């Protein structure tokens, strides 16, 4: 949208620089002024939306990194529980055996 804005601004500046009687205020100039204003507003709105989208993207990337770290931590916890702790637990007698049941 910046290129059309520059074109409109150039046209408007060229009209304002006209010499003598050619330098008049007419509907075409009103239209150019309106077009420049409308394009400026569009550029401002799009710039704001771009900033918001970039901010959302950064937040999503941060959330993704946090989730990846959390998953790695949980995988490590499962590994410790299944591989290391389970081997130690297997050496202990079962609850039934501790209670005196010989099943």
The confidence score (pLDDT) of residue 88 equals 77
Looking up tokens 């006209």 gives: 18
- The whole-model pTM stands at 0.58
Query: What region does 96 belong to: left with phi over 0, alpha with psi -120 to 50, or beta?
Result: alpha
DSSP code of residue 85: I
Say how far apart CA 35 and CA 29 lie, in whole Å. 10
Given a cut of 50, the residues of the chain with pLDDT beneath it are: none
DSSP code of residue 26: -
């Amino acid at each position: 949208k910046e290129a059309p804005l520059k074109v409109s601004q150039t046209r408007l500046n060229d009209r304002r620089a006209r010499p003598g009687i050619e330098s008049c205020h007419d509907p075409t100039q009103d239209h150019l002024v309106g077009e420049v204003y409308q394009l400026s507003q569009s550029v401002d709105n799009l710039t704001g939306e771009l900033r918001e989208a970039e901010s959302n993207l950064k937040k999503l990337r941060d959330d993704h990194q946090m989730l990846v770290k959390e998953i790695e931590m949980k995988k490590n916890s499962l590994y410790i529980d299944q591989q290391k702790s389970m081997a130690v637990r297997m050496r202990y007698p079962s609850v039934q055996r501790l209670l005196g049941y010989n099943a």
